[in-house]
Amino acid sequence: MPSVELDRTDLLLLAELQGGARLTNAELAERVHLSPSACLRRVQRLEREGVIAGYRAEVDPERLGLGLQAFVRVQLRHHDAAAVTAFSEFVNAWDEVVTCHALTGDMDYLLHVVVQDLEHFSRFLLDRLLTQAGVADVNSSFVLRTVKAFKGMPLGR
């Protein structure tokens, strides 16, 4: 998919929305120095063109009792279409996996896993990942602390 041509005002709009998507259109318009109608048209165009892919609340995992995060590198036994499809279906069904990326290099996938505690992670690893998904090798790293959390896409061009 080709990138969308964005001007300085579009980038300002995106920066403001990434910082707080609950702004009213009037507040957003004031912050980027547009009239409310011009601001709304621009935001709708960014949504229509897929630059703004959606809106969601940022949830604190610890406040939900999800105190342990891990990054799990996974290597599959087989790399045929059926094995890849099966792995994708399993991963998409597991709530503990909040993101999954296909990788280059010696491991095939990187999973970001969020669970309650080490016992929960152990059950996830032993009962799901290692038994159901055609996995050959797994390497896990636990998050000690988050130094920089995701705050939005880089918009400087």
Query: For the domain bounded by 62-142, which CATH number is listed?
Result: 3.30.70.920
Q: Which CATH fold would you assign to the domain 8-48?
A: Arc Repressor Mutant, subunit A (1.10.10)
Segments making up each domain of the chain, as ranges = 8-48, 62-142
Residue 23 has pLDDT above 90, yes or no: yes
Q: What is the mean pLDDT of residues 136-147?
A: 96
Q: What is the pLDDT of residues 82-108, one digit of tens each?
A: 999 999 999 999 999 999 999 999 999
Give, as one character, the DSSP assignment of residue 99. Answer: E
Burial per residue of 64-101, b for 16 or more beta-carbon CB atoms within 10 angstroms, e otherwise: eebebbbebbbbbeeeeeeebebbeebbeebebbeebe
Judge if 8-48 and 62-142 fold alike in CATH terms.
Answer: no
Residue 112 CB partners (closer than 8 Å, separation 6+): 69, 70, 71, 97, 98, 99, 100
Q: What is the CA radius of gyration of the chain?
A: 20
Q: What is the mean pLDDT of residues 64-68?
A: 96
Q: What is the pLDDT of residues 111-130, one digit of tens each?
A: 999 999 999 999 999 999 99
